Structure formats: structure tokens, C-alpha cells
Amino acid sequence: MRLDKNHTRWFGANGMAALGVFAALIAHPVRAESSSPPRVDYEFTGQIDLGAPTFNDYLTFDSDSRRLYVSHVDRVTVVDVAKRVVIGSVAPLKDSHGIAIVSKLSKGYADSGDDGIVKVFSLTDFHVIKQIKVSPDADGMLYDERTDSVLVVAGDSKNLTVINPTDDTVTRTVALPGKPEFMAIDEAGNVYVNIADTATLAKVNIASGKVEANWPLENCKAPHGLAYDPPSNRLFIDAGDFKQDSVGTVPKPLRLHGQIPAPLLLIQPTQQQIHLTVVLNVAMLDSRTT
């Protein structure tokens, strides 16, 4: 499986204390449409025991060190991917969620949601270097290399905090139009934020802090996971639960895309509901008025 540098994925493993390891297998292209991407299957190759407690949230992979950082309630658990073993942890945390890695400074950032704090830690031995006050219910985090910014959203506080990793100061706090869940960054200095309580997608210019758009995700319930694919300029959104009879009525520019490029998966229908990924063309979104 290809893991991009400093990439964060939503994991959500309630009741599990192990991380599944998958390998991507490229199958023959689907012939239904000439423009269809190749079908990608996944093979389960093993698991990594993370130990108690039995709940995990976000995970972040650092390709420079080949380490995986997994939020783990009261700590961040650090995994050596090559050896498939736990090599350390960042602690203590109160309700751990997001992790951001800044390899060039040998620093990592982990939020402590109940405290409304981001803890800066050493990538060498994982000890906490300092604390940065953000907002209560700090959640998803990302590092944007282009603007050299650490981003953290806070659900109940309905905001986005931008941190300068050079001196670990808060650059700005941006009010959001609802409770954010996770983010994805494009190549033009924008961050897209899932607004879970209103089922919308906000676009924020990182440098200015301006909320430039807030698009409705119709028929979507509590969007959570989010990823951006630069080659296609598309966003992939974990759209939550769709009622089965509403799938055919998803409006443009939302498109249901049956063949999701690796490493994104489409979860098939179960009983009366579908938990799916919605694909949005960013150029089409930008052409719409808010």
C-alpha cells in the first residue's frame, strides 16, 4: 500500500486495539468506461497490536521515518511500519485525536481535546517539548508544507487554529460555519473542512484565514473522513449514512464513483443503508456561488 508523506487518514476503530495492515493489488481495468480508473483490491496481510485502551481515531504516516502515529485516547501510539511493532508513545493526553508531523524541524504535534491543547513533541524520543493553547474539543490536525502551517480544527468551538511551527505560536483562529470534523489541503493554499453538524464543506484560504465558500452536501449525514487527490483535483468525502432510496437523487456536482483509486475505499451497501464515499470536482465547486 502506498502511503504519502505526512498523510493523515481517518481510522475510527471503536472496540478494536489493533491496526489492520493492507496491501493494494491492481487488477485489470474495468471496461465499462474508457475513462474509468483501474480497479484496486486490498489484501489483508496482518495486524499490529496497539494495546489498551480499545479505541483509536486519526492516524498519520511519516514517510521520512517510516513511522505511523495513531491517536489512542490518552496517548499517541508510535508504530515502526517496517517492523510492525509499537516503539513508543506521546503522553499524557486527554482525548487524543489529531497528529501532525513536521519532519524538517523534528517535531510532532498532537492535540489533547478535553484540554483544548496541542502538545509539541520530539520525533527523536517522543517527549513533550511544550504546550500550545488552542480551543476546547480540538480534533483533526494536518501540516501544510506549502504555507508551513499546522492546522487544528475544534468541533464544539467551531473553529480552525493555524500554528506557526517555527516558533509554535498561534497565527490565527478562524471561525467556521459549524462543527468541523476533518480537513484536506489542495496545492493552492486552501484547506477544505467537513462541517459535520450542517453537512457542508467549507473552503478556507490558509494564508488569509478567509472562509471563501461553504457548499451543502445534500443527502449527506455527518461527513467525517476527507482526502484530496492532486492529479484529478478531486475531494473524496466519507459522506456518512445515505438512505438507500436517496442514492439516485444525489445532486450535481456530487458524483458517486464506484471505482475509487487507492488508497480510498467504497464500503458496499449493508441492509437498508449505504456508507459511501462522495467524489467532488474542486473546479466545479469553485464555479458555484456559495
pLDDT in tens, the chain (290 residues): 333 445 554 444 444 456 766 665 544 433 334 455 566 566 777 888 888 877 888 899 999 999 999 998 999 999 999 999 999 999 999 999 999 999 999 999 999 999 999 999 999 999 999 999 999 999 999 999 999 999 999 999 999 999 999 999 999 999 999 999 999 999 999 999 999 999 889 999 999 999 999 988 876 778 888 888 888 788 888 776 543 333 333 333 333 333 333 333 333 333 333 345 566 666 666 665 44
If asked whether residues 126 and 17 sit together in one domain, one would say yes
Out of 175, 202, 235, pick the residue that ends a domain.
Answer: 175
| Cβ-based neighbours of 85, under 8 Å, separated by 6 or more | 48, 79
If asked whether residues 142 and 170 sit together in one domain, one would say yes
If asked whether residues 103 and 216 sit together in one domain, one would say no
If asked whether residues 40 and 104 sit together in one domain, one would say yes
In angstroms, the CA 145 to CA 183 distance is 15
If asked whether residues 106 and 87 sit together in one domain, one would say yes
- Single pTM value for the model: 0.78
If asked whether residues 130 and 71 sit together in one domain, one would say yes
| Cβ-based neighbours of 38, under 8 Å, separated by 6 or more | 26, 27, 28, 29, 30, 259, 261
Q: How many domains does the chain have?
A: 2
Out of 114, 141, 175, pick the residue that ends a domain.
Answer: 175
**Which range of residues forms the domain containing residue 76?**
1-175
If asked whether residues 113 and 1 sit together in one domain, one would say yes
If asked whether residues 7 and 114 sit together in one domain, one would say yes
If asked whether residues 50 and 150 sit together in one domain, one would say yes
| Cβ-based neighbours of 95, under 8 Å, separated by 6 or more | 73, 112, 113, 114
